[in-house]
Amino acid sequence: MEARTVWLCLSVLRVAWVLLPQSGYIHPDEFFQSPEVMAGKVLDYKVHLTWEWNEDFPARSPIFPFLTSGIPFLVLKAMNFLGLLPDSIGAYSLLVAPRLWTTILSFCIDICLCKICNSFKAKWKGVEMDAYRCMAVYSASYVTLVFFTRTFSNILETVLFVVIIGLVIDSINSGDSKNGSDIVGNQYLSKSHSVLLSMLIVVGFFNRPNFPAFAFVPMLYWAFYPISQSKGLWLKMAILKCLQLVPGAIVTFVIFVVCDSIYFGSLEVHSLSLDTFLHSPSGFVRNLSVTPLNLLSYNFDKSKLEQHGLHPRVTHLLVNTPLLFGVLSILAFMDIPRLIMKIYSCSKHGGNTKEIKSSDNSKMFFLLCYFIPIFIMSLVAHHEPRYISPCLVPLVLAFHSNFAWKGGKKLLFVGFVVGNVLGGVLFGVLHQGGVVPSLLHLHNLVHQQQSAETVHIIYFHTYMPPGHLLGIHSNQAANQNIDMLQEVTNEKQGPQIHLHDLAGASSNVLFDRLRILYKEKQVSNSTRVYIVSPSTLHSAFSEHGTEMEIVLQEVFFPHLTMEDPPKVQDIVETLSEEDSSL
């Protein structure tokens, strides 16, 4: 089968799986850093805001959640207003719309990969780059099919990363037609994309403060290419290039700081004047919210990181890279000796334009774009696998030609396919796979309740449930989260909803909460209580002993929770839903 056909089929799969939809729940950040935030602002839903959105110490810019979730929610709101949606916005639409929009963004990476491959094929000596094969390998990765179709900030980071790589390569290619006397001239520097690159770096920094780690290697090549025989001329060109980055970076930085400060209320629109700044410049600056600096400050505080979990420094390199990239990461490890020898050779003997633009050096460029960000981000002790997901791009560019169903490449091909199928099933279907379907079910259930009724929904030993999927409106301006009780009140229509997130609390906490609600139910028959918990914990209900009647109403299969995993022996012997559902 031709690579073009494979890519088209995988592209259809990428969109279709989003529409299905995927049931897996990778990490709370996929909801609580984007759709949960924008659902409150755009749709006036009652939502739960995490610590990043604290107005006193904001750590996230609202611009990026608006791009990934705010825009699709605005479209849904407009469609609902025009009567194109039945009655109200359904839970399926709330889930799929942001994911579908994010999936469209993920195709920007396909386009960039295609342009990069065609650029290499035309300009770089001995470099074999097949655009459709490259896009096919990228599309076949479960990181693309699952992680890049979710509303993580990492998808925007990956788009920015690949765009910067493409611009740097284009800048290198455009420099070849200039002779030595033009190297530091305006004609050459105008082809360097300096303004756009500076803006993209600042945008990436505000999206995720670790983005400079990804931009470091491409920008290093950009600054010091082409290599000149005259070291003085070479250094002068690099300095002039770097100076060109300053204006665009400053303007973009100021725009983001002002927008973030207005959003979080630390800066008022009417105060944006020269007179206000001149009257009290220090006071004006103190009122500014620089969200990425706040996030960096938080991440370098070890006591705060401990709340999220600390990992060994080698976790990214030895655990997360094989987990995410499988065979691709093994190929990268096998190339380390050759990479070291190549770096040593270049540093000892120097280089020239022809050597830089060779097959070996192009692979060295991509491998450095892969390894250096991993090493830099390993300095922070909290290692989530998705943090290094943008590294898929240089890996695919470096090794896509290794995969083919012919000759000695069959084993690599099979390993790549099997690894990505397993990863896709694990994160796209199994992992916390009952939480989202249960919310879709409860959305329909609670909207059928009478307006005089009170509904309590308790999530026990699951990931934090994103309340916006319940679709409950609220006239309150801020969320109230007291004693692990998130109250979501629909004053427009329907019942009063209380969403309890007990996380990993003990069963005693659960039953204490149930006793309180049971007494409330005895007073009023209009109270409904729903408990959502892994099936591995259902025995606790019978063992605890209680006067309350607890009835199993619905099972959501499959559901895999690593905090309360099922017994593998039981699953193998029974092949039932008993130990792997919600």
Q: Which residue has the higher pLDDT, 458 or 526?
A: 458
Cα atoms in the 13 Å half-sphere on the side-chain side of 377: 30
CB-CB neighbours of 279 under 10 Å: 10
Q: How many residues does the chain have?
A: 582
Residues 5, 31: Cα–Cα separation, whole Å: 34
The whole-model pTM stands at 0.91
Residue with tokens 């892994």: 534
- Give the mean pLDDT of the chain: 85
| Local structure of 327: helix, strand or coil | helix
pLDDT in tens, 402-460: 887 676 678 888 999 999 999 999 999 999 999 999 999 999 988 887 676 888 999 99
Task: Answer positive or negative: Cα dihedral of 565, 567, 568, 570.
Answer: negative
What is the distance between the alpha carbons of residues 22 and 14, in angstroms, rounded to a whole number?
Answer: 11
The answer to whether residue 483 scores a pLDDT higher than 60 is: no
CA–CA distance, 331 with 104 (Å, rounded to integer): 29
State how far the Cα of 358 lies from the Cα of 361, in Å rounded to an integer. 5
- Domain borders along the chain are 436-557
Q: Give the residue with greater pLDDT, 521 vs 220.
A: 220
Question: CA 411 to CA 390: how far, in whole Å?
Answer: 26
- Tokens representing 110 are 């396909």
How far, in Å, CA of 328 to CA of 403, rounded? 10
State the alpha helices, DSSP H only, in 124-225.
131-140, 142-145, 153-174, 186-189, 194-207, 211-224
What's the pLDDT at 84? 86
CA distances from 308 to 31, 135, 162, 379, 570 (A): 17, 35, 29, 16, 32
- Does residue 490 carry a pLDDT above 60? no
The backbone region for 554, taken as left when phi is positive above 0, alpha when psi lies in -120 to 50, beta otherwise, is beta
Contact status, residue 294 vs residue 59, Cβ threshold 8 Å? yes
The distance between the two most distant Cα atoms of the chain, rounded to a whole number of Å, is 89
pLDDT digits (tens, 9 = 90+) for 32-88: 999 999 999 999 999 999 999 999 999 999 999 999 999 999 999 999 988 888 767
pLDDT given at position 575? 46
